Amino acid sequence: MTGASTDLTRAARREGIAFIFKKALISAFVALMLFSLMIGVRTEAGPTGQLIYWTRFGDLASIVGIVFVGSIVIELLRQWWGPAGIASVVPPSAQRALDFAGRAIPPLLLIFTFLVPVIFYNQRYILDLGILVLTYVMLGWGLNVVVGLAGLLDLGYVAFYAVGAYSYALLSTNFGLSFWICLPLAGILAAFWGVLLGFPVLRLRGDYLAIVTLAFGEIIRLVIINWQSLTGGPNGVSGIPRPSFFGIPLTPGDDGLAAKLGIEFSPTHRIVFLFYVILALALLTNWVTIRLRRLPIGRAWEALREDEVACRALGINTTTTKLTAFATGAMFGGFAGAFFATRQGFISPESFTFQESALVLAIVVLGGMGSQLGVALAALTLIGGFELFRGFDQYRMLVFGMAMVFLMIWRPRGLIGRRAPTVFLKQSTAISSELAREGRG
Amino acid sequence: MSGTILDVQGLTMRFGGVVAVNGLSFTAERHKITALIGPNGAGKTTVFNCITGFYKPTSGTMRLTHDDGRIIQLERLNDFRISKQAKVARTFQNIRLFPGMTALENLMVAQHNTLMLASGFTFLGLIGAPSYRAAEKHAIDQAKQWLERISLLDRADDAAGNLAYGDQRRLEIARAMCTEPSLLCLDEPAAGLNARESASLSELLISIRNQGTSILLIEHDMSVVMEISDHIVVMDYGVKIAEGAPQDVRDNPKVIAAYLGADEEEAAAVMESGT
């Protein structure tokens, strides 16, 4: 019995070695093909304009060798760890630790965020970065309603961000309305545009929906560029009023907040104030989303993501359900946009390119669709990490891309790949995202 | 009150040149189980999709009479309104639960319209109004009651996708029942179940009928059909070939011919030689 089993493992191992070698050879061959021209032959324009080239077969050989050995090492590691999969890659003890961390992280992170302006009071760079990260956290949470909960792939989220920003910019510069009046207006206008976009695209699903929302994002941007009389076109809108502390401006004058409090004026006050404004807005987004998830509308969003046909059979109006998801997400985008405008003091169409939509979508996907903590961590990683890698100079994008690829191998369903039930009888057991669907709507 | 709950007259459904259902007429009695049977491709599921609003029939009428005498023309409603206004619920041939949501959540989603009203279209719910909390508690109680009836109460907090196949089938029926329908349409509820599970399914369906919900059933498992049906409609090639009580249908040579793929005389001959 024992002999038979050792024979078996020996046979499996022999087969394994053959497999590893085959795989390594294939990898080396692919590397040879790829790099033979890129590294093997070097071309340059000579002094008189002719083409000179020389070969670097030594470098090529060493790279192919590295790929060959590296492939063997990776394959050995993989066999040692067992088959790739969430359950086996993460051992149970580590999983328990992760669970504990999962419960401890949100409150700790929140406390730390509240203390950031206190700790880094003198470091303007950190404060600015914090505001930027929080803006993206808020955008991520807003888009999470549409993509993560309702499963509607929206590639034009930046349009609502732009609507919010321009709403505030134009209302305040033309009519002198204050930030706190414009904020809800910007949200309502963005939600309105969300519904407007929602109507024509309701029949579309999956890829088609993504294309139309992408186009919508571009349309908004092009309208802003070309409607010169209203939006100032490519020159943007400048001189957007800074927010006041409920009517008291944050200026060095006698009626400024500093003078009224009897403290010395510092420009940092405004930064700190902005930090807490965006923190409050982000937390509002979070609170509303968490609340909505537990209400029938939120459950209907998730049901829609899981199975639209079943929703219709249960008498759920899928049209209004989708529209509310679009409107809610757009409203938060609008809030974030108004904040962006007041922080920058100047906005132009260049801030609202497709790149922004893609970045926010990446935050949602990377965070784990539907997970609030995951989105916050992903925003921190993506925006903060991007700054962190500044030291790598020209290799920044490369390092960044590598990090994302590794993250997706390690956690294909995002950082937090689990969903907590909205209602439970005895105990709330998190559901692996392997079961949840990504939505085709 | 007895009488007819569903009266289908001259139902025709064409897909391009293919006539899936051709002038089908039948009635389903109130508080009874009506079975729709027939060989594969006979058009049974198409009939279901017409009744439940997933297809718009080419022609024909489908009249639903509620307990209170209200009459609804199903062919004039579409989509989600069939379930919401006409109170017709259905299950699917290939199970369509929400796999990433728990069993309890699945049953809560089914009570969406009631809860939506109670939550004041989300606004009252958002501020945590007591009236909404009471409605939610009531919804959870109803879900709990159904989970108990299908003996899944201890799996209430497990993902629906993690349940065994037979459990998923029963959960889908419970989910449909949570919409409080007057007519329940089941598309092959016994498919893939073993003998014991089929027997418990029969019991469940009979208890649902006795409780006052009429059932329209597509089924291939003849032991289930013959045991629980009050009335059977047999279809082949989109037309009705027979109907009646289980015993009559079982002995009908046309039905046997349709199932065996032989023509009528041959089937009659086979039956005679058999007896």
- Give the CB-side neighbour count of residue A258, counting CA atoms within 13 A: 13
B116/A contact by beta carbon, under 8 A: yes
Mean pLDDT lowest among A20-24, A260-264, A371-375: A260-264
Q: Which residue has the higher pLDDT, A385 or A186?
A: A186
| pLDDT tens digits, A352-409 | 888 889 889 888 888 877 788 888 888 888 888 777 777 776 777 777 778 778 877 7
B1/A contact by beta carbon, under 8 A: no
Does B98 contact A421 at a Cβ distance shorter than 8 Å? no
Residue carrying structure tokens 């401006």 = A249
Which chain B residues are closer than 8 Å to A432 by Cβ? 159
Does A297 contact B158 at a Cβ distance shorter than 8 Å? no
B123/A contact by beta carbon, under 8 A: no
Does A429 contact B119 at a Cβ distance shorter than 8 Å? no
| pLDDT tens digits, A78-126 | 777 655 444 445 566 776 777 777 678 888 888 888 888 888 878 888 8
Which chain A residues are closer than 8 Å to B122 by Cβ? 292, 295-297, 324
Domain extents in chain A:
13-82, 105-432
**Structure-block tokens of residue A118:** 């206190």
In angstroms, rounded to a whole number, what is the distance separating the alpha carbons of residues B68 and A380?
59
Sort strands B231-236 and B33-37 into parallel, antiparallel or unpaired.
Answer: parallel
Which chain A residues are closer than 8 Å to B127 by Cβ? none
| pLDDT tens digits, B145-171 | 999 988 888 888 888 888 888 889 999
What pLDDT score was predicted for residue A190?
A: 93
Q: How many residues does chain A have?
A: 441
The mean pLDDT of A285-293, rounded to a whole number, is: 91
* pLDDT at residue B81 tops 50: yes
Which chain B residue has its CA at the smallest distance from A309's CA? B96
* pLDDT at residue B274 tops 50: no
In angstroms, rounded to a whole number, what is the distance separating the alpha carbons of residues A142 and A360?
10
Does A297 contact B100 at a Cβ distance shorter than 8 Å? no
In angstroms, rounded to a whole number, what is the distance separating the alpha carbons of residues B214 and A313?
17
Nearest-neighbour CA in chain A from B213: distance (Å) = 16
Under DSSP, the state recorded for A425 is S
In angstroms, rounded to a whole number, what is the distance separating the alpha carbons of residues A360 and A382?
10
Which chain A residues are closer than 8 Å to B153 by Cβ? 425
What pLDDT score was predicted for residue A12?
A: 62
Residues 210-269 of B with CB under 8 A from A: none
A203/B contact by beta carbon, under 8 A: no
Say which of A299, A431, A436 has its CB closest to residue B109.
Answer: A299
Question: Structure pTM?
Answer: 0.81
In angstroms, rounded to a whole number, what is the distance separating the alpha carbons of residues A281 and A287?
10
Q: Are A324 and A410 in contact (CB under 8 A)?
A: no
Residue carrying structure tokens 């470098």 = A59
Q: Are B95 and A306 in contact (CB under 8 A)?
A: no
* pLDDT at residue B275 tops 60: no
Which chain A residue has its CA at the smallest distance from B147's CA? A425
* pLDDT at residue B267 tops 60: no
Say which of B104, B112, B176 has its CB closest to residue A316.
Answer: B112
- The rounded mean pLDDT for chain A is 82
Residue A2's pLDDT band, with cuts at 50, 70 and 90, is: very low
Does A299 contact B100 at a Cβ distance shorter than 8 Å? no
Does B79 contact A312 at a Cβ distance shorter than 8 Å? yes
Nearest-neighbour CA in chain A from B237: distance (Å) = 26
Which chain A residues are closer than 8 Å to B146 by Cβ? none
A390/B contact by beta carbon, under 8 A: no
Residue A20's pLDDT band, with cuts at 50, 70 and 90, is: confident
Name every residue whose Cβ is closer than 8 Å to that of residue B126 and which is 6 or more positions away in sequence. A288, A291, A292, A295, B119
The mean pLDDT of B69-77, rounded to a whole number, is: 81
Please report, for residues A108, A241, A266, the alpha-carbon distance to residue A252 in angstroms, rounded to integers and kept in the order given: 35, 15, 8
Q: Which residue has the higher pLDDT, B275 or B206?
A: B206
- Taken in order of first residue, the domains within chain B and their CATH numbers are 1-87+181-275 (3.40.50.300), 97-180 (3.40.50.300)
Say which of B80, B100, B109 has its CB closest to residue A435.
Answer: B100
Q: Which 3-state string (H, E, C) describes chain B?
A: CCCEEEEEEEEEEEECCEEEEEEEEEEEECCCEEEEECCCCCCHHHHHHHHCCCCCCCEEEEEEECCCCCEEEHHHCCCCHHHHCCCEEECCCCCCCCCCCEHHHHHHHHCHHHHHHHCCCCHHHHCCCHHHHHHHHHHHHHHHHHHHHCCCHHHCCCEHHHCCHHHHHHHHHHHHHCCCCCEEEEECCCCCCCHHHHHHHHHHHHHHHHCCCEEEEECCCHHHHHHHCCEEEEEECCEEEEEECHHHHHHCHHHHHHHHCCCHHHHHHHHHHHC
Does A315 contact B179 at a Cβ distance shorter than 8 Å? yes
Q: Which residue has the higher pLDDT, B78 or A27?
A: A27
What pLDDT score was predicted for residue A332?
A: 94
Nearest-neighbour CA in chain A from B60: distance (Å) = 22
Provide the CATH topology of domain A105-432.
ABC transporter involved in vitamin B12 uptake, BtuC (1.10.3470)
In angstroms, rounded to a whole number, what is the distance separating the alpha carbons of residues B256 and A257?
91
Which chain B residues are closer than 8 Å to A148 by Cβ? none
In angstroms, rounded to a whole number, what is the distance separating the alpha carbons of residues B185 and B96?
14
Q: Are A417 and A406 in contact (CB under 8 A)?
A: no
B83/A contact by beta carbon, under 8 A: yes
Nearest-neighbour CA in chain A from B250: distance (Å) = 32
What pLDDT score was predicted for residue A189?
A: 93
Does B156 contact A288 at a Cβ distance shorter than 8 Å? no
Q: Which of B50, B52, B78, B80 is the best mutation test for A, with the most CBs of A within 10 A? A: B80
A287/B contact by beta carbon, under 8 A: no
A438/B contact by beta carbon, under 8 A: no
Does A307 contact B97 at a Cβ distance shorter than 8 Å? yes
Which chain B residue has its CA at the smallest distance from A435's CA? B100
